Structure 1
């Protein structure tokens, strides 16, 4: 159920559930004010907690609710087949091409490979001769069919992307420029028919499916070519083409796929159907969606999911939340609303760019580090306000940048939190974002704090000499017969030093460990003297 729709920085549900179980009890209320795709909320409900999820991104709110609501699977499948009967043939009409084997003029182009403005090859399906895939070179008729479809689109989003070199959003680029004219025509038709579905709940699932399939129907799907005996070549010495996927950003590769719109929708529907089956099984039927916090507080089970900003949690009462687990935006790592503009635009969702807590390279937004820190400080203050006294809050974080670490720790301390521990959130499979970003740790860290009444709200600064750091690491590793993991060393050095008002630099900790210890089987051991 966590694979129904793409979203960035999804946390492993099994690890998030461990924190929920450790720091909260059944029927207690768990809050995630940056709920994203909804992992914290779904796991809380699955573990018999009540939950509150808030996010500024409409796509995040829809994704979260999709992971919580039951659906009549029989009715869903019936509606899908009805939709197929309405649109598939009409969509097929724009992909008709001559079969290279039998000459059937009503064969279907399932995949079209573009190189710039030219078509390189077409993958053809033909019912007349039973061929499921034949690769052919295009004719001029094929090119015209894609660029000047016989049925023009009735509507498509013309929103401009926010210029941002980091996510390949160029000046003057619009959402509709991510698709061929033929794809726009068929997407427009499909969305129009979906919006005519009378059952509101089923219609929302179909709109969700439409949103989820958009990247694969766009021009951002790159071509993979592997050379070798098992893969063969295309006759030009190039490896045979394989379908890639959209990763992140708005880069249109020179060589890219245009995939049949109904095939994209059908494939995504299979994933959505599987996800909804899992939701029906994992989420208690008694888990009710509430529209107000008052209603949620009076219940024993249920959730409240609302679009909003973490800087204003006024819908939640003070001292009412038992536990918080959240993953706030990490500086400029992922500009969520900019990356979600394609989804939000197609479904006409309203989104609030002004109040997003983010650092963005988009000059028109003026979202710099100062704005980010000020808003994050307000958000942590709100989290402190709504959390019960002695309650815990866990914040996922990933950066090796010293100033970012110091800013985060001081912001938490300024809000009134006491930092209790820093632990890892290991990933079984890392995303492209996690693997490539600058100053990335091999894992996210989770900083767990506690709300305690303190007369003095401490602030910390960097200190300690390289010699002092060297001695501290040596002393710690010497006391560990079986060595230690990276996070154990960091946890010891950071958490123990925070009360002194002076902390070690994170980057120096990592580099010093490498200098004086060897890494084996996931643990550090001191090098022989």
Structure 2
């Protein structure tokens, strides 16, 4: 199955095309600085890299402060980019992060390691001096009697239909594509260094076709530019600064790929032709029928500006800490949540945000990043707690997901001190997944103490436009009581009572959205040992909300 247009691919994910375009327009216009009240947008550290599924740092910090004291140990065994760890370290807690994704561990490490900013800037100048002219030469030629530098090429059906370029007198001019654009993009005159040709998992859900490779996501010209940068980064002696530039490169990849769609139709005068604007990497590995190819050096330079802002914040937070602060307070493990390399009763608090079934295919959607860093060969794909539709991963079904999540919970029960707390962010509309997850807690001796919505801190295309999606996760918090004699949570199939409960809630709070109603219901019913089916809650809410 191959999708060509945005309005074809998004419904496959249960997402609304008009909603996506509206959301992208808001992002591009910078009109949506915040999507939920009482939260902050991603900036600084958290804007350095486009890692999947980041959670609102200021909300997570509240859980850390509520359930721990300074000096205690916080564990996140699905740590991703390290949001929980960063907030724990900022609050003078010790932290342990575990993740199967090598890129996640590298990003978390960089985000907590203060480096010499002057040296980072000096190294960027070295790379600029060595590579900028060479990479730009891939986009330079004489047009209309003057030297030009191509900044953006719009491709449609493998043909360049529009080219943006600069000259000595103008920052931006636009022309139609010509034959030389094809030659320059497909047959660059500079030889490429090493680049990844890793095979991707065939998966129509994220639009990966049979025998598709990571290299297929880029034009030959982009591969040359990216490979030159990657090769030069290997020469950086300081390992911490080298990692900063590795993340700069991986953050560059999506915008330098063929995954950047074209936005048309905004801000045009009546009767004028639709104006093209730059979109971004939306989801999966969908190559739009009409997409951008952007000058690789510009992508790298723009990403570096974001990275340096993040590094400045990291330095402000951690550069004045005592010598050895990182070694004494941070432990990162590239491994599985199902086999924690930790002692019994060694952790004071756990906050996790595990994959929610098949909602985000973390490892598959990180393959492009890991492959460029040569890290994809080290991944233990079998241990990923995920449901995947990839043809080569048929074993990654709901049964395997529940089994591995059960093992991860057992490990948390083992390492978490008795009487301490365990919080999990959760977002799912599948009835069986809800009931199975709640009963996993019970099986391993956890008793629920709190359930609250976790509001998102920044615009997310996926989170806000999924059909019947919750605009927030729930955070379920449990106490490690080792009480394994609790009754299992069951479904209550009473539509009349459910409708009456929802009408009561909405009459008291007419402004409530679906997730607010769910939260109110869960607070009442989970302690009583039952929940209503989530699918029914959504349906009854839809019928009763104006």
Of the three residues 209, 216, 232, the one matched with 1:177 is 216
The offset of 1:328, in angstroms, is 0.5
Equivalent residues of 1:380, 1:411 under 8 A apart: yes
| SS class of match (1:421) | strand
What is the distance in 1 between the residues matched to 2:184 and 2:502? 67
What is the distance in 2 between the residues matched to 1:477 and 1:231? 43
Equivalent residues of 1:97, 1:108 under 8 A apart: yes
The offset of 1:477, in angstroms, is 7.0
Choose 1 or 2 for highest CA Rg.
1
| SS class of match (1:391) | strand
Of the three residues 45, 58, 75, the one matched with 2:119 is 75
**Is the aligned partner of 1:390 residue 2:456?**
no
What is the distance in 2 between the residues matched to 1:401 and 1:12? 24
Higher relative contact order by CA 8 Å / sep ≥ 6: 1 or 2? Answer: 2
**Is the aligned partner of 1:214 residue 2:253?**
yes
Structure 1: unaligned runs, 5 residues or longer: 297-301, 520-529
Corresponding position of 1:12: 56
Equivalent residues of 1:419, 1:447 under 8 A apart: yes
What is the distance in 1 between the residues matched to 2:143 and 2:278? 21
Corresponding position of 2:490: 461
| SS class of match (1:211) | helix
Of the three residues 337, 353, 363, the one matched with 2:381 is 353
The offset of 1:440, in angstroms, is 2.0
Structure 2: unaligned runs, 5 residues or longer: 1-44
The structure-2 alpha-carbon separation of the partners of 1:397 and 1:145, relative to structure 1 and needing over 3 Å to count, comes to: same
What is the distance in 1 between the residues matched to 2:387 and 2:417? 30
The structure-2 alpha-carbon separation of the partners of 1:290 and 1:70, relative to structure 1 and needing over 3 Å to count, comes to: closer
What is the distance in 2 between the residues matched to 1:442 and 1:494? 16
1:146-195 deviation line (CA, Å, top 9, x unaligned): 11111221221111110111101111211101111111111111111111
Equivalent residues of 1:416, 1:453 under 8 A apart: yes
Equivalent residues of 1:389, 1:452 under 8 A apart: yes
What is the distance in 2 between the residues matched to 1:509 and 1:190? 51
Equivalent residues of 2:455, 2:473 under 8 A apart: yes
**Is the aligned partner of 1:504 residue 2:537?**
no
The structure-2 alpha-carbon separation of the partners of 1:125 and 1:514, relative to structure 1 and needing over 3 Å to count, comes to: closer
The offset of 1:229, in angstroms, is 4.0
CA-based RMSD of the aligned residues comes to: 2.3
Q: For residues 130-529 of structure 1, what are the structure 2 equivalents within 5 Å?
A: 130-226=169-265, 228-230=267-269, 233=272, 237=273, 239-283=274-318, 285-286=321-322, 288=324, 296=328, 302-313=329-340, 315-349=341-375, 350-366=378-394, 367-473=396-502, 489-491=517-519, 493-513=521-541
The structure-2 alpha-carbon separation of the partners of 1:139 and 1:387, relative to structure 1 and needing over 3 Å to count, comes to: same
Equivalent residues of 1:176, 1:184 under 8 A apart: yes
The offset of 1:504, in angstroms, is 2.2
Corresponding position of 1:526: none
What is the distance in 1 between the residues matched to 2:431 and 2:91? 36
Corresponding position of 2:166: 125
Corresponding position of 2:149: 108
What is the distance in 1 between the residues matched to 2:155 and 2:526? 56
The offset of 1:514, in angstroms, is 5.3
The offset of 1:321, in angstroms, is 1.0
| SS class of match (1:25) | coil
The structure-2 alpha-carbon separation of the partners of 1:96 and 1:493, relative to structure 1 and needing over 3 Å to count, comes to: closer
What is the distance in 1 between the residues matched to 2:299 and 2:449? 47
| SS class of match (2:412) | helix
User: Which structure shows the bigger proportion of residues in helix conformation?
Assistant: 2
Count of residue pairs brought into register by the alignment: 498
The structure-2 alpha-carbon separation of the partners of 1:98 and 1:485, relative to structure 1 and needing over 3 Å to count, comes to: closer
**Is the aligned partner of 1:24 residue 2:68?**
yes
**What's the TM-score once normalised by structure 1's chain length?**
0.89
Which moved further from structure 2: 358-367 or 453-462? Answer: 453-462
**What's the TM-score once normalised by structure 2's chain length?**
0.86
